[in-house]
Chains A and B, each alone.
Chain A
Amino acid sequence: MKNNKQRQAAVFFSAALLFLAMVTAAGVLCREAALETDFSRKNLAPCREYWFGTDCMGRDMFARTLAGLSMSIRIGLCTAGVSACLALLLGVAAAVMGKAADRVISFLIDTIMGIPHLLLLILISYALGKGFLGVAAGVALTHWPSLTRVIRGEVLQLKNSEFYQISRKLGWGRGQAAARHMLPHLVPQFTVGLILMFPHAILHESSITFLGFGLSAKQPAIGVILSESMRYLITGQWWLALFPGIMLVITVLLFDRAGNALRGLLEPMENREGVYG
């Protein structure tokens, strides 16, 4: 029974990952098609040839949506990666490097968490001149605090564990003991935290692009697509917003579920109580 649940989670996780990888790859491949304008096919409702319809410049919305999602996922990957590494470094540093470091890092966490996320993001993105760099830096620099806090707590706990204390008493250095006895325990937290950061990163990227502080209007980004579509909803062109919006929701949900499935796989205590308990 438990095994079955686990297998389900594993299958779901792989399927989600495969789907997202396919979207990412497809988006890269149809980037050219997403930029191509052809005024002889403008404002077409969804049909067999153009699944998601076309916009006022005759761009294929299916290609645009894929390219936009792909762009969002790639930005999400890159920023969540940076953010998670930052969280790992700071979290461990806060726990291991003594009281002063802990105080400074905790202060940083509180400060950044105290400022509304989107506001800080817009500020950073705008200061860096918007565009890819602005968005990437903005998202990367605003998403680390919560994971840092989790990792810091975990490390503090591990520091007091017997095996760590004993290894230290046996004469192991701080670094060696941390690498050997702490990191393996942090991997699940870190991985799950990383994956659960994707949906945030993707949504925030789309949001600030939607608000006009992110990627340039030329890019086929989901935020750009959605903000453009707002102008034409009143003329009844529902497909411009609906399909890209749904695809964004699906992507974000898939990442979220994949993260939860992975958590189920990696946290043995909760899921395997039948074996251990």
Chain B
Amino acid sequence: MGRKRIFSWGLALAVLAAGALSACGGQESGSGGQTQPGKQDNSSQAQAAVQESGSDAQAQAAVQESGSDAQAQSGEQDNSQLAAAASVVVTMPATSEPAAGFDPVYGWGAGEHMHEPLIQSTLTVTTEDLEIGLDLAKDYQVSQDGLVWTVDIRDDVQFTDGEPLTAEDVAFTYNLCAQNSTVSDFTMLKEAVAVDGDTVEFHMNRPYSIWPYTMAVVGIVPEHAYSEDYGQNPIGSGRYVMKQWDRGQQVIFEANPDYYGEEPQIKGLTVLFMDEDAALAAAMAGQVDVAHTAASYAGQTIAGYHLFQAASVDNRGVNLPAKPATEQDGLIVGNDVTCDAAVRRAINMGIDRQEMIDHVLDGYGTPAYSVCDKMPWYNPASQVEYDPDGAAAILDEAGWKMGSDGIREKDGIRAAFTVLYSPDDSVRQALAEDFANQCRQLGLEVSTEAAGWDVAYDKAQSQPLMWGWGAHTPMELYNIYHTAEGQENARYSPYENTAVDQYMDQALQAADLEESYELWQKAQWDGTTGITQEGDIPWVWLCNVDHLYYVRDGLEIAPQKIHPHGHGWSIVNNVDRWQWTS
């Protein structure tokens, strides 16, 4: 056990303490040198940046080396080169990389993190105010009974391999989705039929008024060129063509020269997958044009970059099990404290959302009152004013008496519960801690506990969990609040209200979207019952997390739709309309 040994331990730990390990971001190194073949026509700075960041262990190293020189240069010199090349380099979290490739059938563009599929075109699109616009579809109608949707499609559209896009391709795509999709619900679709070259009919199992929202996320794949490795070599008719994919590192897109719509202004898009700290380092080194970031990093100022803030419906909230605890098949379902509506109402009213946003999100967020704030189907009655005294009064009235230790009690039940959070998510952990602190002010003893997703769904049946939701479809309301098929309770947290269920069932059977929006709103609050403060309030929504990006000066990001859950692809939904102004 000589001195050498001690010295080596000391050295190893000093290195650890100095943080050299932060270089293990998420990217594999080594194959970066191979990124060039096949890309020589485009020798822009962007490509050079890609190559560098691919072959370096991580951008950190570059930051250390380049120091302030590179930052000063990057502002001016790179800008002009990039503007000439009209291409952008965008970072995204490593989790945004589609595991099954760029195949809409296996989740590309759809599912939990929905976005426009870029490579493929969709029948409809969601507009900036999240109503429905048209893309491949020229027109669509639904039959009186809501069971047949007829969609007229454009006949001037080609896949990038030169073959025309026909109604057969559309029917093929939807039937494939119905058979195989694991991330989206297609149980309402019986069959898609190509009636003629440019008309397709969707035969439904049950009325589904919000079908246009489903049509907005399904990218159309070519029947003649679809095989098992389609996800690796996607062919579509969209604005961009995938040129190259280095798994775990980057994807390179090029504008589709034959695109039927408006010509994309940005000709090249490179997406790099990395963690937030690596993205920040890459921006500091001037290697990327758009770097995703989080509130905890947003205080940094980077020369040549500005902070871009995209509003979102990427909400965080907790479920409050609305039924008393019972054991079902070995699993505890329900919670004896939160089953009291007074407790749920007091929490909803007694949480200072703005304080939470200021403290945890450094102000980069907006208060959330529902799972669908600012969507066309949002009911403004969900909003509630912060009123800690009112909350205390509700608890007093319901018989939750304040104990000597500052924690309330009722009939021998202590007002205590645990809030769970995902262990890898520092924002959710901080929100859970802040939530717990605020609940303590109300006389509720709330502790926090980390729970991985392998156990979180089961545990959430009896304990509140810090969730993140937010999608461009009202189906999310249904998934969260509607009693699950064949069950007594809603899927994610014990709750049922037949009136709420009925409104949502009616909304799905509605004749048109406008009518359905109204019914979705009634499901939230119809004047007597619902899921808002005056109603059952089985979930308390806390905040919508703004999506933050460091954007290189001179790059103008086109106006964004309200981003859904997921800090990834949404930003590039309209990359074709971005502009270099300098």
Whether B433 and A217, one on each chain, are in contact in the complex, defined by CB atoms closer than 8 angstroms, is no
Q: Is A229 an interface residue (CB 8 A)?
A: yes
Contact indicator A39/B359 (Cβ below 8 Å): yes
Partner-contacting stretch, out of A77-85, A157-165, A238-246 = A238-246
Given contacts A56-B426, A57-B429, A234-B281, A218 and B448 within 8 Å (CB-CB)? yes
Q: How far is the CB of A114 from chain B (nearest CB, A)?
A: 21
B430-445, CB under 8 A of A: which get 1 and which 0? 1001101100000000
What 1/0 mask marks residues of chain A from 226 to 241 whose CB sits below 8 Å from any chain B CB? 1011111111001001
Whether A249 contacts B14 by the Cβ 8 Å rule is: yes
Give the size of the chain A interface in residues (CB under 8 angstroms). 37
A252 to B22, CA, bound (A): 22
Cβ A230 vs Cβ B434 within 8 A: no
CA distance A252 to B7 in the complex (A): 11
Cα(A233)–Cα(B276), bound, Å: 12
For A42, the chain B residues whose CB sits under 8 A away are 359
Contact B281 A245 (CB under 8 A): no
Q: Are A242 and B17 in contact (CB under 8 A)?
A: yes
Question: Are B360 and A232 closer than 8 Å at their CB atoms?
Answer: no
> Bound complex: CA of A259 vs CA of B450, how far in Å?
37
Please name the residue on chain A nearest to B294 by beta carbon.
A231
Contact B450–A253 (Cβ < 8 Å)? no
- Residues 186-213 of chain A, each 1 if its beta carbon lies under 8 Å from chain B, else 0: 0000000000100100010000001000
Query: Is residue A73 within 8 Å, beta carbon to beta carbon, of the partner chain?
Result: no
Report B-chain residues with C-beta under 8 Å of the C-beta of A244.
Answer: 17
* Cβ-defined contact, A241 with B448, below 8 A: no
Contact (A256, B1) CB under 8 Å given A235-B297, A249-B10: yes
Considering only CB atoms, which chain A residue lies closest to B436 in the complex? A37
Partner of B19, one of A57, A229, A253: A229
Write the B1-22 contact mask toward A (1 if CB under 8 angstroms, else 0). 1000110011001101111011
A241 pairs with B18, CB closer than 8 A: yes
By a CB distance below 8 angstroms, the chain B residues around A248 are 13, 17
A271 within 8 A of B: no
For A253, give its contact among B10, B18, B281, B437 (CB under 8 Å). B10
- Which residue of B14, B17, B297, B429 contacts A217 across the interface (Cβ within 8 Å)? B429
A39–B430 alpha-carbon span in the complex (Å): 9
B276 touching A218, Cβ below 8 Å: no
Across the interface, do A217 and B9 meet the contact criterion of CB distance under 8 Å?
A: no
Question: Is B299 at the interface (CB under 8 A from chain A)?
Answer: yes
The answer to whether A246 touches B17, judged by C-beta atoms less than 8 angstroms apart, is yes
- B229 touches A (CB below 8 Å): no
A252 to B9, CA, bound (A): 9
- Are A230 and B6 within 8 A (Cβ)? no
Given A226-B17, A230-B21, is A253 in contact with B6 using a C-beta cutoff of 8 Å?
yes
- Residue-wise interface mask of B (347-390) relative to A, using a CB-CB cutoff of 8 A (1 in contact, 0 not): 00000000000011000000000000000000000000000000
Contact of B434 among A37, A216, A231, A232 (CB under 8 A): A37
A residues in contact with B28, CB < 8 Å: none
Which residues of chain A have C-beta atoms less than 8 A from B424's C-beta?
217
Which residues of the other chain, A, contact B166 by a CB distance below 8 angstroms? none
The answer to whether B17 and A241 have CB atoms under 8 Å apart is: yes
**Chain A residues, CB < 8 A from B277:** 230-234
List, in ascending order, chain A residues with CB within 8 A of B288's CB.
Answer: none
In Å, the complex CA distance between A260 and B6 comes to 11
B533 within 8 A of partner (CB): no
Query: Which secondary structure characterizes the binding site on chain B?
Result: helix
- Assess the B17–A245 pair: CB atoms within 8 A: yes
Chain B residue total in the interface (Cβ 8 A): 37
Check if B433 sits within 8 Å of A230, measured CB to CB: no
**B6 and A245 contacting across the interface, CB-CB below 8 Å:** no
Nearest B residue (CB) for A217: B423
Q: Which residues of B contact A56 (CB under 8 A)?
A: 296, 426, 430
**Measured between alpha carbons, how far is A227 from B426 in the docked complex, in Å?**
12
A230 and B1 contact, CB distance less than 8 A: no
Does B127 lie at the interface of the complex (its beta carbon under 8 Å from any beta carbon of A)?
no
Which residues in B have their C-beta under 8 angstroms from that of A234? Answer: 22, 60, 277, 280-281, 297
Is B223 an interface position by the 8 A CB rule? no
Contact A245 B13 (CB under 8 A): yes
Query: What 1/0 mask marks residues of chain A from 26 to 47 whose CB sits below 8 Å from any chain B CB?
Result: 0000000000011110100000
Kindly state the separation between the CA atoms of A267 and B26 in the bound complex, as whole angstroms: 50
Q: How far is the CA of A232 from the CA of B281 in the complex (A)?
A: 12
Interface assignment of B300: CB less than 8 Å from any CB of chain A = yes
Tell me the complex Cα distance, A56–B298, Å.
Answer: 13
Q: Which residues of B contact A260 (CB under 8 A)?
A: 1
Q: What 0/1 pattern do residues 266 to 282 of B give for CB contact below 8 A with A?
A: 00000000011100110
Closest approach, in angstroms, between the C-beta of A171 and any C-beta of chain B?
41
Interface residues of B in 148-163 (CB under 8 A from A): none
A235 adjacent to B300 (CB under 8 Å): yes
Cβ-closest chain B residue relative to A218:
B450
Q: How far is the CB of B32 from chain A (nearest CB, A)?
A: 21
Bound Cα distance A121, B503 (Å): 54
**B433 partner residues in chain A, CB cutoff 8 A:** 37, 57
Query: What residues of B have a CB within 8 angstroms of the CB of A210 in the complex?
Result: 16, 21
Asked if B449 is at the interface (CB within 8 A of a chain A CB), the reply is: yes
CA distance in complex: A163, B14 (Å): 49
Instruction: Tell me which of A38, A39, A218, A253 contacts B360 (CB under 8 A).
Output: A39
Q: With the chains together, A256 CA to B437 CA distance in Å?
A: 41
Known: A196-B1, A235-B300. A226 touches B16 (CB 8 A): yes
Asked whether B426 lies within 8 Å of A228 as measured between CB atoms, the reply is yes
Chain A residues lying within 8 Å of B10, measured Cβ to Cβ, are 249, 253
Query: Which of A216, A228, A249 has a CB less than 8 Å from the CB of B17?
Result: A249
Of B13, B430, B434, which one neighbours A249 at CB under 8 angstroms? Answer: B13
Q: Which of B270-312 contact A (CB under 8 A)?
A: 275-277, 280-281, 296-297, 299-300
For the complex, give the distance between the alpha carbons of A233 and B25 in Å: 13
Nearest A residue to B15 via CB reads A245
Q: Tell me the complex Cα distance, A223–B321, Å.
A: 34
Q: Knowing A218-B450, A253-B6 are in contact, say whether A231-B426 is a contact too (CB < 8 A).
A: yes
Asked whether A230 and B17 contact (CB < 8 A) given A37-B433, A56-B296, A217-B450, the answer is: no
Chain B CB within 10 Å, residue with most, of A203, A235, A244: A235
Q: A37-B437, A217-B429, A241-B18 are in contact. List 7 more A-B contacts (CB 8 A).
A: A37-B433, A229-B19, A231-B426, A244-B17, A245-B18, A246-B17, A256-B5
24 contacts between A and B (CB under 8 A): A37-B430, A38-B437, A39-B430, A39-B434, A39-B437, A56-B430, A216-B423, A217-B423, A217-B429, A226-B16, A230-B277, A231-B275, A231-B296, A232-B296, A233-B277, A234-B22, A235-B280, A235-B299, A245-B16, A245-B18, A248-B13, A249-B14, A253-B9, A256-B1
Closest 3 A/B residue pairs (Cβ): A245-B17, A39-B359, A217-B423
Write the residues of chain A forming the contact surface with B, with a CB cutoff of 8 angstroms. Answer: 37-40, 42, 56-57, 196, 199, 203, 210, 216-218, 226, 228-235, 238, 241-242, 244-246, 248-249, 252-253, 256-257, 259-260
B interface, CB within 8 angstroms of A:
1, 5-6, 9-10, 13-14, 16-19, 21-22, 60, 275-277, 280-281, 296-297, 299-300, 359-360, 423-424, 426, 429-430, 433-434, 436-437, 448-450
